[in-house]
Amino acid sequence: MIEPDEVFARANYSRPHTIHCGPEGIYVSALGAPDGDGPGGIFMLDCETFDVLGQWEMNRGPQFLHYDFWWHLGFDTLLTSEWGTPNMIESGLQPDLLLSSKYGHQMHVWDLRRRRHVQALDLGKEQQMVLEMRPAHNPTKAYGFTGVVVSLKDLSASIWLWHRNNRAWDLKKVIEIPAEPADPAKLPALLKDFKAVPPLATDIDLSLDDKFLYISCWGTGELLQYDVSDPFNPKKTGSVRIGGITNRTPHPKNPKQPLAGGPQMVEVSRDGKRVYFTNSLYSTWDEQFYPDGVGSWMVKLAANAQGGITFDENFFVESSDYRVHQIRLEGGDSSSDSFCFP
Amino acid sequence: MQAPPEKHAFVAALNPPGSKLNDALLVVDVDPESRTYGQRVGEVKMRSLVMSCTTSVGMRVVRPFARMRRIRTSSVATWLCLACAHLAFTSLIRNRIRENPR
């Protein structure tokens, strides 16, 4: 175990989040500094000894907020996203910060080898919380997808494509998922005035062949599948409903049991045939959006090669003693594997 | 992509700040041919934390921790890294998963 003091002392970071194995070592993102403020960033571990080596950034430019990261190994490019500092998120979503656009709304492009900030891409201040980074796995392809949790304009969630354009990086919104009208009596305090359930796209995952993109809508309780073979023009190919702030859709195995929480951390098998997801986000946020209890469950879908997803009716794992979160698959999976060769 | 189907899933299992319960890494049987399919078959408890603050939000499999410039094809270990993103007890936990995690 690596103790927090070692991370504090050697990297001046805390709250580690994403881990990827990459050039020269193990990369770990961190949401902030030991005092809970920013900046967040990436620190490196020695890949043999697991010693904390220090901050990865040589020059962070304007970057301050941090969340997820990944890369295009064929383009020596690293990409990072923005959530909030630990102080902004640990006690729950703070409405005043949200309404004043203080959560992250940018992604950053970095030179992976020189460890320097190259470009900030702004999605617009109304786009709050830019979370998961899912670059094409094919190292010859220079595009990827990131998700925005919520838009202040209309509570929609959205998926953005980053891509190369005129020797620089550019962004395009390629999917927008609208909020769903709802009876205020069924909504938690935070949402009553809006009379709608935001989709809250909290996780996305891209299949290893870069063909299908999965989107967790933790608020509405829906998991969406899009064919992104043409990344500029995604086509919706599948959807399942489970949980949700107002719907509380049951699982087919227990059709009479209403479920809280919604699709959250999603994992796709290497062959693209199976999709797993869990229902818990982050304890203080769980309590805000599911104040009567979020529960804890994990489910599995079968994915058709031509598109389409269905529940495995025999797979429903409930836990009473833990909240289940990230899933990793034996051997590897779509959110951990990086390809060095086409 | 061609790959053998996974037989186990590793799941970060957490408890909120203030809870007296530990965090853990759960092993779930995802092999439809197994009689324990869809059940928890293993659990690695993370140390119990005195200050009760272990909400973690990320886990990544690091496998087989190769340097890109010097790929170690002989490495057989699978490492699971669990990054716990909370307060002073931010810690990084690693467990070596053997062939049969049960």
- Residues A55 and A39 sit within 8 Å (Cβ to Cβ): no
Q: Return mean pLDDT, chain A.
A: 95
Question: Which one-letter DSSP state was computed for residue A74?
Answer: G
Does A319 share its domain with A201? yes
CB-neighbour burial class of residue A79 (10 A; exposed 0-12, middle 13-18, buried 19+) = buried
State whether residue A183 is helix, strand or coil.
coil
Does A165 share its domain with A287? no
Does A327 share its domain with A190? yes
Does A233 share its domain with A320? yes
> pLDDT per residue over A175-220, tens digit each?
999 999 999 999 999 999 999 999 999 999 999 999 999 999 999 9
Residue A225 CA to residue A207 CA, distance in Å, equals 10
> pLDDT per residue over A103-140, tens digit each?
999 999 999 999 999 999 999 999 999 999 999 999 99
Q: Is the pLDDT of residue B83 over 90?
A: no
Closest residue on chain A to B28 (Cα): A317
> pLDDT per residue over A227-280, tens digit each?
999 999 999 999 999 999 999 999 999 999 999 999 999 999 999 999 999 999
Residue A152 CA to residue A146 CA, distance in Å, equals 17
Max distance between CA atoms of chain A, in angstroms, equals 56
Q: Considering the domain boundaries, does residue A142 fall inside one?
A: no
Q: Which residues of B touch A330 (CB under 8 A)?
A: 6-10, 78
Q: Which residues of B touch A19 (CB under 8 A)?
A: 58-60, 62, 81, 83
Residue B80: the pLDDT is 44
Question: For tokens 């936990």, what's the residue?
Answer: B93
Number of domains making up chain A: 2
Nearest to A80 by CA among A139, A162, A14: A162
Half-sphere exposure of A153 (CA within 13 A, CB side): 12
- Report, as an integer, the average pLDDT of A1-20: 88
Q: Is A62 on the interface with B (CB under 8 A)?
A: no
CB-CB: which of A7, A323, A330 is closest to B6? A330
Q: Which residues of A touch B87 (CB under 8 A)?
A: 14-15, 36, 86, 90
What residue numbers bound the domain in which A311 lies?
Answer: 179-331
Does A163 share its domain with A236? no
Does A269 share its domain with A304? yes
State the pLDDT confidence band at A171, using cuts at 50, 70 and 90.
very high
Q: Considering the domain boundaries, does residue A72 fall inside one?
A: yes
Does A21 share its domain with A105? yes
A175: Cβ–Cβ under 8 A, 6 or more apart, which residues?
A158, A159, A215, A226, A234
CB-neighbour burial class of residue B100 (10 A; exposed 0-12, middle 13-18, buried 19+) = exposed
Residue A4 CA to residue A178 CA, distance in Å, equals 40
Domain boundary among A173, A197, A217: A173
Closest residue on chain A to B39 (Cα): A317
Residue A5: the pLDDT is 85
Closest residue on chain A to B76 (Cα): A331
Q: Is A133 on the interface with B (CB under 8 A)?
A: no
For chain B, the domains span 8-97
The alpha carbon of B13 is separated from its chain's Cα centroid by a whole number of angstroms, namely 9
- Residues B46 and B23 sit within 8 Å (Cβ to Cβ): yes
**pTM for the whole thing?**
0.90
Q: Considering the domain boundaries, does residue A149 fall inside one?
A: no
Asked if B6's CB is within 8 angstroms of A333's CB, the reply is: yes
Q: Is the pLDDT of residue A84 over 90?
A: yes
Q: Is A20 on the interface with B (CB under 8 A)?
A: yes
Does A132 share its domain with A195? no
Residue A127 CA to residue A158 CA, distance in Å, equals 9
Residue B99 CA to residue B94 CA, distance in Å, equals 16
Does A280 share its domain with A298? yes
State the pLDDT confidence band at B20, using cuts at 50, 70 and 90.
confident
Q: Considering the domain boundaries, does residue A291 fall inside one?
A: yes
Q: Output the DSSP codes for B25-53.
A: EEEEE--TTSTTTTSEEEEEEPPP-TT--
Residue A225: the pLDDT is 98
A contact residues 238-297, partner B, Cβ 8 Å cutoff = 267, 269-274, 276, 278, 280, 282-284, 286, 296
Does A191 share its domain with A58? no
Residue A298 CA to residue A289 CA, distance in Å, equals 19
Q: Is B81 on the interface with A (CB under 8 A)?
A: yes
Residue B21 CA to residue B24 CA, distance in Å, equals 10
Q: Is B90 on the interface with A (CB under 8 A)?
A: yes
Bigger pLDDT: B79 or B53?
B79
Does A61 share its domain with A1? yes
Does A57 share its domain with A100? yes
Half-sphere exposure of A242 (CA within 13 A, CB side): 34
Closest residue on chain A to B20 (Cα): A321
CB-CB: which of A28, A284, A322 is closest to B13? A322
Cα separations (Å) of A272 from A205, A213, A238, A333, B6? Answer: 11, 11, 14, 9, 11
Q: Is the pLDDT of residue B57 over 60?
A: no
Q: Is B9 on the interface with A (CB under 8 A)?
A: yes
Asked if A47's CB is within 8 angstroms of B14's CB, the reply is: no
Q: Hey, which residues does A300 pair with through a beta bridge?
A: A276
State whether residue A73 is helix, strand or coil.
helix
Q: Is the pLDDT of residue A221 over 90?
A: yes
